[in-house]
Amino acid sequence: WRGGRRADSARTRRKILISTQVVADYHGVGRSKGDIEEACLSKWLADTKQLIETVASPNDHRRVVLVGAGVGGWIAVRLAQTDPELVGGVVGLAADPDFTEDLLLKRLKPDVIERIMDGMELIKWGDCSYPISRKLIEDARDHLLLQGPDGGLDVQCPVRLLHGLEDEEVPYTTAVRLANRIKTEDVTVSLSKSGHYMDDIDDFKRTRLAIQDCLESIFVLDLRSPSSG
């Protein structure tokens, strides 16, 4: 959903951090191979889980901080909910959980939605165009996060949500709604006068601080568990 520009920004962020980083585009997006028509939340979640299990040694009780932009933020929070043993923290950058239902289907014209449900349609959204498929829409309904009571989303790890007040694609209120849904009290929302891509130097600094904050929270928690690493 976010293409190579977001991953390139993540690679820049990686250069200013001292921790070990792994940066990847998800199936069918950016530098990643794959048929975009087959891409969906379930596929991206499975791929993310496989990557973590491959590089992070979860059997040694090592958890990761997931940094996700746009749909990546959706994936990160969802994985923290379904596989908490893998995820020690989440940093969401302009995260857009439930955008398929809350944004696309509520704002697009009926004829455009009909073309999507016939297979796939290229949708102009903000400053970019994105391929949206019927499979993406229907599969996403199994992974919605914003529906339900406050505190009802069982995520226990530290969560840091960064969003721009001038985001032209996803309203900053999405971050507030997501924070209210998350169960842990260790969740913060940080707003800035940024657009959707949050790719200037100040945004990089805020991202770095959010990651460091998560890492410090994990370290404190792990001190309480001899088996954690």
Q: pLDDT 10s per residue in the chain (229 long)?
A: 344 445 555 444 444 344 577 787 777 676 667 777 788 999 999 999 999 988 877 666 678 999 999 999 999 999 999 999 999 999 999 999 999 999 999 999 999 999 999 999 999 988 888 899 999 999 999 999 999 999 999 999 999 999 999 999 999 999 999 999 999 999 999 999 999 999 889 999 999 999 999 988 876 655 555 444 4
Whole-prediction pTM: 0.86
Q: How many CB atoms sit inside 10 A of residue 187's CB?
A: 21
Instruction: Name the pairing type of β-strands 120-125 and 87-93.
Output: unpaired
Q: 67-95 burial, b if ≥16 CB within 10 A, otherwise e?
A: bbbbbbbbbbbbbbbebeebbbbbbbbbb
Are residues 41 and 64 in contact, defined by beta-carbon separation less than 8 angstroms?
no
Beta partners for 129?
124
